[in-house]
Chains A and B, each alone.
Chain A
Amino acid sequence: MSNQRQASSASQVPHLSPAELSYLYTSLSLPKTPIRPDGRSPTQFRPLTAETNILPGTNGSARIGFADGTQAIVGVKAEVEKTILSNETLARNDGGVGGEQEGSAAVGGHGSWVQMSIEIPGFRDDDALPVFLSEMMRESLVGAVGTDETSDMTGGLKGRLVINKRWHWRLYIDVLLLSQPLAYPLPLLSLTTHLALLSTKLPKLKSQGEEDPFFDDDWAVAEYLYPRPSLSSGAKSSARSSFVRPPVTLLVISVGENIIFDPNREEIAVADAVLAISITRDSEAGNLKLLSIRTVDPPSRLTQPGVPNSENVSMLGAVAPTEDVAVLNPATGEEEVPGVWRPRRGGVKRSVIAEMVKTALKKGGVGEEVLEGLEGVEVS
């Protein structure tokens, strides 16, 4: 019952005592130099192990394991499917206006061609958490529209799936978490999906134009879904950043005035605000661009409050009543007794959101490091 209820809040509430929460919050909100329980710096990620192409039956796959033992496997499968032309396209073709102005679906692709399912042990597939996670990841995936007219990736992933006006690829992305999540599983799932998509190959098309498609059966000449920086062709040796890349979703929390990346379960439990920020490389400008932001309900709102000594019934008479002076927490604007945990309430200031996004996007910032790190994983 309690599991069901917590699942609906899209974040599990770990059982932590008010004293632990207060200790953790104060450590993490120390100005400029937060002390994380595992000693990491605010922007440091936990080390992880990654490998790709582990499933021979898929078009692309990846596995990522965190040091705490949680692992995710993603398999990508592609199928050829007939495009159902919309009324408008038909109408335009009948009127003979067509030609340049083709139906947008045939050119731009359709978001529903990418199907995503997330399986988390202990959750039903219609529970709020898997639904919320898959919507969040699918949204940034199909929303990543490249505007670079010259490359294959016009229209982003959706555009890449178009074979011709009548045929397209349908992509199934199946995400499997191997154990019950110890922390909010979003970063793990997103990074694994990113790697799996990077390693995804589609067979080479041999038919041309509007023919019914047929493919080269030589797997060696298959093409990457997301074109890789090719070593041989010097003509296309533009900067690595000019290639469209699948998005990654980062989990960012704010505690006091500090902004912390890749939080673990305990850190999320005391966060003032939790944001899921999806980013990708901008194929034109070469820097990062924002795809989506979603707030995640911080579990700190559901925690047990601590009792100040002055109000503690079991300590009555032992403490001078005037001793505890409530001070104003600058981050939340609430009055608090130092050392006593209060569940967070209220929302997040706009300046904090802007700061969080900036840290993720800025040049040489966390987002670039993550994307570069993932790029470095050998795709065999």
Chain B
Amino acid sequence: MSLLRKTAAQLADALAAGETTSVEITQAHLDRIGEVDGAVHAFLHVDAEGALAQAAESDARRAAGKPASALDGVPIAVKDVLATEGLPTTCGSKILEGWVPPYDATVVKRLRAAGLPILGKTNMDEFAMGSSTEHSAYGPTHNPWDLDRIPGGSGGGSAAAVAAFEAPLALGTDTGGSIRQPGAVTGTVGVKPTYGSVSRYGLVALANSLDQVGPVTRTVLDAALLHELIGGHDPLDSTSIRESVPDLTDAVRMGATGDLTGVRVGVVKELGGDSQENEGWQDGVQARFQEAVDLMVANGAEVVEVSCPTFVHALATYYLILPAEASSNLAKFDAMRYGLRVLPEGIIDPSAEDVMRATRDAGFGDEVKRRIILGTYALSSGYYDAYYGQAQKVRTLISRDFDAAFAKADVLISPTAPTTAFKLGEKLDDPIAMYLNDLATIPANLSGVPGISVPGGLAEEDGLPVGIQILAPTMADDRVYRVGAALETLLTDTWGGPLLDRAPALEGVSR
């Protein structure tokens, strides 16, 4: 098997067995990036020199019998919203073009300490606002399954990099589904950990109370290995929780047997689980979802239907809370301390405020402006109670719905996204249609619970990947891994191999 096709766990084993070196693996991925990224555009910045130097150090450590971690030497791609010392970090925005952070995000620091060479930074919707990566100021990423389609967003770059075998692992961030929805539409695995269980220090915040860093991989085991490496308390993040999540790789091993005896699986009526109320849910998505549910039942799971009535308001709640937090967070881009500074035309001796206004107009894209204005409105006096205040209360009700559902079920499942990947440009100027993509992923962010998206097969009508989402209670991340691994095993057995084996090889593509 080529090095590119191996999972991160297999690469780690090959390194441990002395069958290959980190330099070989890293070079193979850099070559692959060189070959296909012109067409996929998963990367905003590739650091070949740095990655190879880190790989050489890893090989030296291993030769000395002192690998730094289980994944020492396995390369990774990092979403461009995470600060990387010495490597450009743009968040997909012109306002940060060329900015090189003077420090590492905690998760990046942990990657470096564990010896993972960093291949580069991946494309994203500007400041993580979007579901298609089309809002990147540097041009969209293309879905490796069909280059005319979106790879999901905001972390479409990380998902596409992993799906196109440009990287075995990647980091993403999930504020409303930005890890899970790209995972679903690219046939990869994406995990949003419990809120606060992975440090946000050095993550350029979109919405502090919703953002979470997590793994983007091709298998559930790889996600668990990466998650264990980046997770855990960080004193630099005041929202970081002290308790550590349960053993995740153990949960994967238990799940990988495919046995789900005694697991109560809740199908959420409001998240595509109601066959009577299925407007907006693509037939092929529903068919694959139903198949997954049947497969779980056939292997011992007990399925219960649960209703979370407030979930129908989750999207509205999210699109008030997120812009409110984002408008406040993005106020720091003021042209004074870092990033772009644009002097207004036609003003002699402009004031700081004139410069701020000109810079923010030139530096932010349409979607960012839309959300800043919306957030400013939702927070303004006279509207605060009706919008932001009300949204915070509905957020409480959504958490209560989760509590009630988890009293009846160990995990909840749904399709990850209502449709497969749509065409680039199709929803670009229709914000509401774009927002609807996050329908099934948003409730988890509002409530802080962990979730995973695993490949569920291809939709009949378009041959594109469908994702299955599994949600668990706060701090029970091990459950999403156990059930995710079981579903992965059962489905892969049905298919006779990984779903990505059926993706186009992309060899010789150019644009």
Q: Do A and B come from one complex?
A: no
Residues of A within 8 A of B (CB): none
Residues of B within 8 A of A (CB): none
